[in-house]
């Protein structure tokens, strides 16, 4: 295996491990950890495939910084009340699409598919949201962090409301 191939394999592994940690944080309701996966001015967006494909900007969620994400965490943990349920994220291995240097910073563009299941007490599990993550990762202090995560969901309808990050 060449050094370049080994480096690419390691990059895939790194992203897959971060995606697994991201899913675990959300599934274990450690919402305060969620903004830490992003750089300070990171972007997070949840958008319907129909709008994404047409280049329309309307999104269900759109946060432009960790501060906005922390506000969402506050809402989730302190102000929102709803019937209890559990979430479970399943994320595919990532596809690294491009590694580029931008202004002296390594930018990794990658995509992964996701499925989020919801289980209410005394009920069967149901598919809550399915789509793909369109990500840009950069190194901050030697660690990959999300510069942006664009969640493009395939469903035309969202069950109830979207409260938690996907």
Query: Which band of pLDDT confidence, cut at 50, 70 and 90, is reported for residue 80?
Result: confident
**If pLDDT is split at 50, 70 and 90, which confidence band does 128 have?**
very high
Give all domains of the chain, ordered by start, each with its CATH number.
3-153 (3.10.450.50)
Positive or negative, the CA dihedral 69, 74, 76, 79 is negative
- Contact by Cβ (8 Å): 30, 21: no
CA distance 97 to 110: 5
pTM of the model: 0.95
User: Residues 18-48: pLDDT tens digits?
Assistant: 999 999 999 999 999 999 999 999 999 999 9
């Amino acid at each position: 295996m060449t050094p370049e191939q080994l480096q690419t394999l390691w990059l895939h592994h790194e992203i897959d491990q971060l995606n697994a940690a991201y899913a675990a944080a959300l599934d274990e309701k450690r919402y305060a950890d969620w903004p830490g996966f992003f750089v300070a001015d990171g972007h997070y967006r949840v958008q319907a495939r129909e709008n994404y494909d047409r280049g329309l900007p309307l999104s269900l969620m759109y946060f432009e910084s960790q501060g906005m994400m922390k506000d969402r965490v506050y809402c989730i943990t302190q102000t929102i009340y709803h019937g209890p349920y559990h979430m479970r994220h399943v994320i595919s291995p990532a596809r690294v699409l491009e590694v580029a240097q931008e202004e002296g910073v390594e930018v990794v563009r990658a995509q992964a598919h996701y499925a989020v299941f919801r289980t209410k007490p005394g009920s069967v599990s149901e598919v809550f949201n399915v789509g793909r993550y369109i990500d840009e990762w950069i190194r901050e202090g030697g660690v990959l962090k999300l510069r942006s995560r664009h969640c493009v969901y395939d469903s035309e309808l969202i069950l109830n409301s979207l409260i938690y990050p996907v």
